[in-house]
A and B are shown apart, each in its own frame.
Chain A
Amino acid sequence: MPTYILKRFLQLIPVFLGATLLVYFLVFSLPGDPIVALFGDKPVNEAVAAKLRAQYNLDQPFWMQYLLYLKSIFTFDLGQDFSGRPIAAVLGEVFPVTARLAIMALIFEGVFGIVFGLIAGLRKGKFFDATVLVASLVVIGIPIFVLGFLLQFTIGVQLGWAKPTVSSAATVPDLILPAIVLGLGSFAYVLRLTRTSVIENMNADYVRTATAKGLSRFQVVRVHILRNSLIPVITFLGADLGALMGGAIVTEGIFNVPGVGNRLYRAVLSGEGPTVVSIVTVLVLIYCLSNLLVDLLYGWLDPRIRYDS
């Protein structure tokens, strides 16, 4: 097992290099001059512009810029963004907010998706099942920005049950509504995945054998149906954590959450290469790590999958 984990960590190195190079190249090839854009409507002062270019290594060719950026990462000095703040501080500010939002969304979709999916699966073809299936289809069918504005308007503005926008502190109560919006699409998937998986496992031979042992219905469901059904669901949830972190841009935009998505969006618009690459790199690492976590969980849930040493 330790060798397996080590192997997986070693695999992160090429992923890290590939992701940073690709993102750096994409930002580099954005049209327009970010320094000129900084001056806005004012006339460009060439001397200041040249100094700024040198400060952000923008006068160097692409490879040089990239290598200098890598060097800055390994010396733990990510440099500054265009407003002069250290990028490390920016990351430290936005990531906790988005992490809180994503984990809340994950809990919401996990708990409700599994519970609803389990009940629907056990009552296949009954009223509850049919209702939930149609509802989940509706949720999947409607784009997240429509759902987001709809819930913001009804629950936040008209009913006043939650604040329509998030304060700069982005506390847990603040984030409940955004988290639900963020997790809604995946909730529908988790529900359907659980339902399908439960239905499949209900017909498994070992479930019949378990019933033949004299176990009560509840025991059969808990011990033999639920755990086996969770294996594909856990895989989806783990992979979804990365997607939620990266995919929060729209939700953060709607609810004005001061998180990764908002900051990334601004950095892309102003062409701040190092900021964009830093944020994306952290996202990539989170994605890789959550996948590793899923694989380990998978081995724990399903002993047939072994990571031999």
Chain B
Amino acid sequence: MSASVDFQEAEYATERPLLEIRNLAIGFTTSNGEVNAVRNAHLTIMPGETVAIVGESGSGKSTTALAAIGLLPGNGRVSAGQILFDGEDISSAGEKRMIELRGNSIGMVPQDPMSNLNPVWKIGDQVRETLKANSLPSGPDDVAKVLSQAGLPDAASRAKQYPHEFSGGMRQRALIAIGLSCQPRLLIADEPTSALDVTVQRQILDHLDKMTTELGTAVLLITHDLGLAAERADQVVVMYRGQVVESGPSLELLQNPQHPYTQRLVASAPSLASRRIQAAKELGVETDDMLAPAETAAVQSSAPDEVLQIQNLRKVFKLRSGFGKSTDFTAVDDVSFSVKRGTTTAIVGESGSGKSTVAQMVLNLLTPTSGKIVFDGVDTSTLNSKEIFAFRRRVQPIFQDPYGSLDPMYNIFRTIEEPLRTHKIGDKTSREKKVRELLDQVALPQSTMQRYPNELSGGQRQRVAIARALALDPEVIICDEAVSALDVLVQAQVLNLLADLQSRLGLTYLFITHDLAVVRQIADHVCVMQKGRLVEAGSTDDVFDAPQQDYTKALLNAIPGAGLMLPPEVA
């Protein structure tokens, strides 16, 4: 530990920690007996301090936080250790005491703004009951005040609306309002912005920072994003498989990670890494597979023609506004760009920018209102059903949710074999051989064939989805948020795999994503979309180094941890 820590400790020496977790162990009773989700966890939060717990899904970070507010799920319990809140051990406190503490001493801002507000009550009611439960004045003015402090415009009338009438960012503001409404001394913020767009994320976190600073609230921030943690927290605690592997002041921990897991996390954090993966390969950095030189040469020698040309693409949806009337909603407005064979083009934008609509039109799943999509010299709107069938063979999708895009009733062999069977390619033996090859290509063991999606991890499932997309030897792969649902380390592996497959097979990728950090790692060209329009397009380096449009600059600035300086050997 360095001098700065000693200094901080000295500074707080006279003060008692607001929250102190000692030797905490949390077990879950399952049908297979007791499972330990958290072991031997330590954590200290001083009054007014922000501490972040960082880790991937399943690391126990949320479980630790929920234990601190007594909200473990029914089958979970604290099996050892202490949770001291202002000196009082609340790990063994009764429900009555916890109800007293919740709300006015310990507040919570939950993760998913879509599911954490009760859909059948007005926003105002949900704020009011919080104030009321903690014996605070709860008139309409008090409710409006709480909401407007959380940055909700026009709070008095907004309070009369239902959650479904709010956008994701507004719901999160309402949840922050609820969490801070009773001015708790500790706020537990469990991934408070992971479901939001990056620019909204920044606004919300800035606002949360401002409010907690004003109120002197200590914050326990749970996040999977190391960059975000480093930017927002004074102290970072890294959890891995239920244990705290490292903790310390944020910047120090980031610049000089001690534990191997932290080192890996720092190295692969997309918000901190900043080079195209292929570039890394050229530098001699090892990836999953070594390149076969002959194949690379072959790919490079083929002329970089434009395999996809999108010309003045428009898509207008009719929104029903009742009784035969409808209003037009332009989801995609006059978008033109082209994709060169063997390269990766990324379309970035926030939700509602129309990027996924573009992807669906390129996949010929939606018909454009006007404009053309030219694939390999042919306008896709002129294809008859037979030609569309052939087109689908050459253009394959990989979707966001590896849980939803694989049929749970199909084993992996059947999943990967299905496109081959549909397109009547080969016979039973040759198809099985092909599936085995595909599994090799995506670095999954052959034994995976007999397993079912629910037996695989998220990363493994996404590999299966990639294998399925590759089964028909396509030329273009459309990745619609293909890595967004994955943990950082897994995300890095999958991106490496995609880059590797591209250089071996000469694939063309059209990458739809909201995550600029991912764009940086995988794309050659970037198209930035906002509200249906293409606002900026260019090579990745140009767009990142010298963004022309204000919107692009705002997006880039909003990447958590973008402003942090790291030693080059780590980044």
Contacts and interface: CB of A to CB of B under 8 A. Distances in A.
B282 to A, nearest CB: 46
A215 B112 contact: no
Contacts of A309: 322-323
A149 B8 CA distance: 81
A18 to B, nearest CB: 24
Interface residues of chain A: helix, strand, loop or mixed (majority) = helix
A209 to B, nearest CB: 5
Given A214-B130, A303-B120, A209 B110 contact: yes
A212 B133 contact: no
Given A303-B162, A309-B322, A212 B129 contact: no
A216 B129 CA distance: 11
Interface in B97-151: 99-104, 107-108, 110-112, 115-121, 129-130, 133-134
Given A212-B69, A214-B130, A214-B133, A205 B103 contact: no
Interface stretch (A60-68, A77-85, A137-145, A219-227): A219-227
Given A212-B69, A212-B108, A206 B116 contact: yes
A304 B163 CA distance: 9
A280 interface: no
B121 to A, nearest CB: 7
Contact of B71 (A211, A223, A302): A211
Interface string A213-237: 1111101000110011001000000
A224 B117 CA distance: 10
Contacts of B348: none
A227 B126 CA distance: 14
Interface residues of A, number: 27
Nearest to A216: B99
B71 A208 contact: yes
A302 B322 CA distance: 19
Contacts of B321: 308
Given A205-B115, A214-B102, A219-B133, A302 B323 contact: no
B545 interface: no
Nearest to A203: B73
B104 A214 contact: yes
B427 interface: no
A227 B120 contact: yes
B164 interface: yes
B133 A213 contact: yes
Interface string A274-309: 000000000000000000000000000111100011
B157 to A, nearest CB: 16
Contacts of B179: 212
B182 A212 contact: no
B356 to A, nearest CB: 23
Contact of B134 (A204, A211, A214, A227): A214
Nearest to B110: A209
Contacts of A303: 119-120, 162, 164
A73 B559 CA distance: 72
B95 interface: yes
Nearest to B181: A213
A206 B102 contact: no
A209 B175 contact: yes
A271 B123 CA distance: 60
Interface in A28-48: none
A75 interface: no
Contacts of B111: 205
Contact of B118 (A212, A214, A224): A224
B120 A214 contact: no
Nearest to B118: A206
Contacts of B102: 211-214
A208 B63 CA distance: 13
Interface in A210-269: 210-217, 219, 223-224, 227-228, 231
Output the residue of A214, A219, A223, A301 with the most chain B CB within 10 A. Answer: A214
A219 B121 CA distance: 14
Contacts of B110: 205, 208-209, 212
Contacts of B116: 205-206, 208-209
B399 to A, nearest CB: 24
B423 to A, nearest CB: 41
B239 interface: no
B132 to A, nearest CB: 9
A203 B101 CA distance: 22
Output the residue of A204, A210, A223, A308 with the most chain B CB within 10 A. Answer: A210
Contact of A223 (B73, B95, B129, B322): B129
B115 A206 contact: yes
Nearest to B108: A212
B118 A219 contact: no
A209 B119 contact: no
B108 A209 contact: yes
Contacts of A209: 108, 110, 116-117, 175, 178
Given A3-B323, A212-B103, 4 more contacts: A203-B73, A206-B119, A208-B116, A212-B69
29 contacts: A204-B115, A205-B112, A206-B117, A208-B116, A209-B178, A210-B118, A211-B102, A212-B107, A212-B108, A213-B102, A214-B99, A214-B102, A214-B103, A214-B104, A214-B130, A215-B99, A215-B103, A219-B133, A223-B129, A224-B118, A224-B121, A228-B119, A231-B120, A302-B119, A302-B120, A303-B119, A304-B120, A304-B164, A308-B321
| Top 5 A-B residue pairs of the complex, sorted by shortest distance between their CB atoms | A214-B103, A212-B108, A214-B102, A308-B322, A205-B115
